[in-house]
Structure 1
Amino acid sequence: MYSKINEKIEVLCAYVKNKSLPLYFRWGEKKYKVDKVNLVHSMRRGRDKLYFYSVSNKDNFFKLCFDTEKNQWMLVERFCQ
């Protein structure tokens, strides 16, 4: 099932070779482990640079967004099987 979410989340990241890799994120009261980062891409919206991460764990696929201007993470989409 696919859902558009667009809610703020908290993310724990590792920085490896100048790249940010999400490890866990908290959405509401639940904590999700990121097993795999499937795709990373960026785009500009005006002067803001946004980084999109397609990540997955054993049960779900998520699209996360980091806004560098606001220093804020968002959960954009969720797909669960």
Structure 2
Amino acid sequence: MSWEGHLSGLLVGFVFALAFKTSIAKPVRYDWENDHYDDLQDPFLQQFDEEGNFIESPKEELHTTDSSLEVHYSFKNKDP
């Protein structure tokens, strides 16, 4: 390859870098990275004991009182 091809690639690269320039996004700071974070108040961390073992919470029973749901079945007879 000639030096002209390399030079044109360099110039086009600089032009594209300036034309398609985007700002760098700031990294997301999570709650636990802040100074005022209290891990005793975190509902997720309350699921673990002092050794880091998971503590299962009792399963909540679903109680439905909505009686507005109606189901209508239609049966088709088999043709012989």
Q: Same fold (TM over 0.5)?
A: no
Report which structure shows greater RCO (CA 8 Å, sep ≥6): 1
Q: Which has the larger radius of gyration?
A: 2
Higher strand share goes to which structure?
Answer: 1
Shorter-normalised TM-score: what interval? under 0.3
Q: Scaled by the length of structure 2, what TM-score is found?
A: 0.17
Higher helix share goes to which structure?
Answer: 2
Q: Scaled by the length of structure 1, what TM-score is found?
A: 0.17
